[in-house]
Amino acid sequence: MAPRLILASNSIRRYDLLGQVGIIPDIIDPSNVDETIYDQSLPPHQIALMLARKKAYSISENEQYKNDFILAADTVIAIGRKIIEKTEDIEKARENLNLLSGRNHRVYTAVCVRDQKGIFYNRNVETRIKFKLLSESEIHLYLNTDEWRGKAGAYAIQGFAGGFVVKLIGSYTSVVGLPLNETLNLLNGIGFNAQNKSKKK
């Protein structure tokens, strides 16, 4: 049987980004890794990498995937070393948006892939973003969209919050959830021919 691409994520954003370049994962199997950040002493980029690796390692333990390619990713947003975590609480989301208002922050998205030999490779992408100064009414309107729910940093750049960005240095797709250029390079580097795969799809 031909090797498959296993996406270790239930993120529709990552699935859609892959589809944007013609790649459709054969299987979506999100890991059950606890994404709670217990050790805040680690730099944000290391936390993103640690979580991406955990996700890939977790799925790789499934024997039925031993001859397949595995792709996992994780996104962390931080102001300095302070991480702005995902939230399901609207008041916490309001607090996070007030914290980001008018300030620079960094988005780290780590990608981890496993090849057919069981070897893991990873890449970490940093993007710098500045939000405009947000009014209370803008924050209120955004919270009503529910786009913040479950999002790193309490926002989704591809939605309403795209209007908050006054500066972006780095990878837009990384902020959405998957740096496409780096991901394609990793996949091609481990023998998964992304271009051929997309043609077949």
Identified catalytic residue from 39, 68, 74, 115: 74
What is the Rg, in whole angstroms, of the alpha carbon atoms belonging to the chain?
17
End-to-end Cα, the chain, rounded Å: 17
Active site residue 146: no
Please give the positions annotated as active site: 74
